[in-house]
Amino acid sequence: MPISERLEDLFLKYVGQTSPFPAKFPIARAEGCYLYDREGRAYLDFIAGISVTNVGHCHPRVVEAVIEQAKRFAHTMVYGEHLQEPQIALAAKLSKIAPEGLDSVYFLTTGAEANDAALKLAAKMTQRRVFCAFHGAYHGDTVGAASCFGSEDFRRPYESILLPVRFLRYDCLEDLSLIDEKTSGVLVEPVQGEGGIRVPSREFLSALRRRCTEVGALLIFDEVQTAFGRLGEAWFAADLFEVTPDVITVAKALGAGYPLAGVMAPREVLYRFAAEPPFSHITTFGGHPVSCAAGLAGLQVIEEEQLLANAVKQGNFLMASLRELAARHPVIKEVRGRGLMIGIELESAALARRVVDGARNRGLVLETTLLAENVVRMSPPLIVTHEQCACALEIFEESLKRAVGASTS
């Protein structure tokens, strides 16, 4: 039996599954914008682990930083008790690139954990119980984050343990009146990811900021997908939209492929975790030194290789080309996004799945969004080249044509 088949059997037998239909894609190695299977075939990666590997897979600077730190020490003591240089250096770097005033970071491990911590922080700051979130939102699957899941179907199995959350329509000014003096915090994606790559109006986020200030609710930007150049032009969506929240949560690209997350806020706000009482929010692996070393190297690569500018350049090329495709293929209903966070809305979820599967068979890795399964996402590493984008577009169009033909035959 080939090794890939043995691995598949063991995978299905021993590894907890997230769906009844796992892709079972046999990864052997990854480099730059490519994944390689066990037969050595290359696949152009256009999801980057869902906006995780912004600097590409196994960037030499990141690999070197990980190796050097692993030689020194990995885990030593619970977060906050030992002075760990990688953690401190990354925090200092983040404070320099963050929106003004968000000068402190509390490191954690995952985006869901960061969003849970932000909700706890809002509750502690305001002493209020009710939160607001948005239809179509995805913030993770821990209890607090899942409480803000903008899909009733995904919330229903856990209703007995979820927080009280009021759901508003995304990019709807009228619904902002539902944020009131009983609201503790409002958790929002400045661009919705799993909801179908939905970009709101600048007016919406500005009005949301004003409303939270009026009623004394904390405004929390979930930038787990959008931060660190994914949208191009700026490190954070907050800067791109010129709206500064009270708190920003980050993860995914922060660790350059290694598990790392954070809650960013003014120091006097984050200090509430250290007091009333002390140790009121703690973590064992948050700010892990190896992940922090990788994260710092990743930020340096983004800066030195001018990847924010590249995200704009390649994103503009992809968007313009995809809109030309839409003019030729009426099954494409809309192309939307910013930078290298792009969604292609097709006429059905079934068609989108055929396109994704067909593209993978032709050497291009794409995926649909979780809550809008008729939307195909493109979110390649920020190092992606014009030639790679052109190749992806060619494969996408061929896969689209074949998928449409299969649905009509």
Residue 29: both structure tokens together: 């190695």
Give pLDDT tens digits for 237-255.
999 999 999 999 999 999 9
Query: By C-alpha distance, which of 261, 198, 189, 192 is closest to 223?
Result: 189
Domain ranges of the chain: 3-55+306-408, 60-304
Residue 248's DSSP bridge partners are 221, 264
52 pLDDT above the threshold of 90: yes
Confirm whether 3-55+306-408 and 60-304 share one CATH topology.
Answer: no
Categorize the per-residue pLDDT at 407 as very low, low, confident or very high, splitting at 50, 70 and 90. Answer: low
29 pLDDT above the threshold of 90: yes
Per CATH, which fold does 60-304 belong to?
Answer: Aspartate Aminotransferase; domain 2 (3.40.640)
Give pLDDT tens digits for 156-215.
999 999 999 999 999 999 999 999 999 999 999 999 999 999 999 999 999 999 999 999
| pTM of the predicted protein model | 0.96
Cα distance between residue 112 and residue 116, in whole Å? 6
Furthest CA-CA distance within the chain: 67
- Please enumerate in sequence order all residues whose Cβ is within 8 A of that of 202, keeping only pairs 6 or more positions apart, or say none: 241, 242, 243
Q: Which residues of 237-252 are buried (b: 16+ CB within 10 A; e: fewer)?
A: bbbbbebbbbbbbbbb
Cα distance between residue 329 and residue 350, in whole Å? 16
Q: What is the pLDDT of residue 397?
A: 98
Per CATH, which fold does 3-55+306-408 belong to?
Answer: Aspartate Aminotransferase, domain 1 (3.90.1150)
Residue 224: both structure tokens together: 């787990």
Percent over 90 (pLDDT), the chain: 89
Cα distance between residue 349 and residue 370, in whole Å? 11
Cα distance between residue 179 and residue 214, in whole Å? 10
Whole-angstrom CA distances from 64 to 70, 72, 121, 288, 336 are 10, 13, 36, 16, 37
Give pLDDT tens digits for 310-354.
999 999 999 999 999 999 999 999 999 999 999 999 999 999 999
Query: By C-alpha distance, which of 328, 299, 127, 162 is closest to 227?
Result: 299
Give pLDDT tens digits for 54-80.
999 999 999 999 999 999 999 998 887
Q: For residue 45, which phi and psi values (nearest 5 degrees)?
A: -90, 110
- Please enumerate in sequence order all residues whose Cβ is within 8 A of that of 283, keeping only pairs 6 or more positions apart, or say none: 78, 79, 107, 108, 109, 113
Cα distance between residue 183 and residue 375, in whole Å? 32
Give pLDDT tens digits for 112-146.
999 999 999 999 999 999 999 999 999 999 999 99
Measure CA 36 to chain center.
23
Q: Helical H runs in 305-382?
A: 307-328, 349-361
The position carrying tokens 């088949």 is 5
27 pLDDT above the threshold of 80: yes
Cα distance between residue 320 and residue 357, in whole Å? 24
CB 147 within 8 A of CB 137: no
Cα distance between residue 146 and residue 129, in whole Å? 16
Cα distance between residue 109 and residue 127, in whole Å? 26
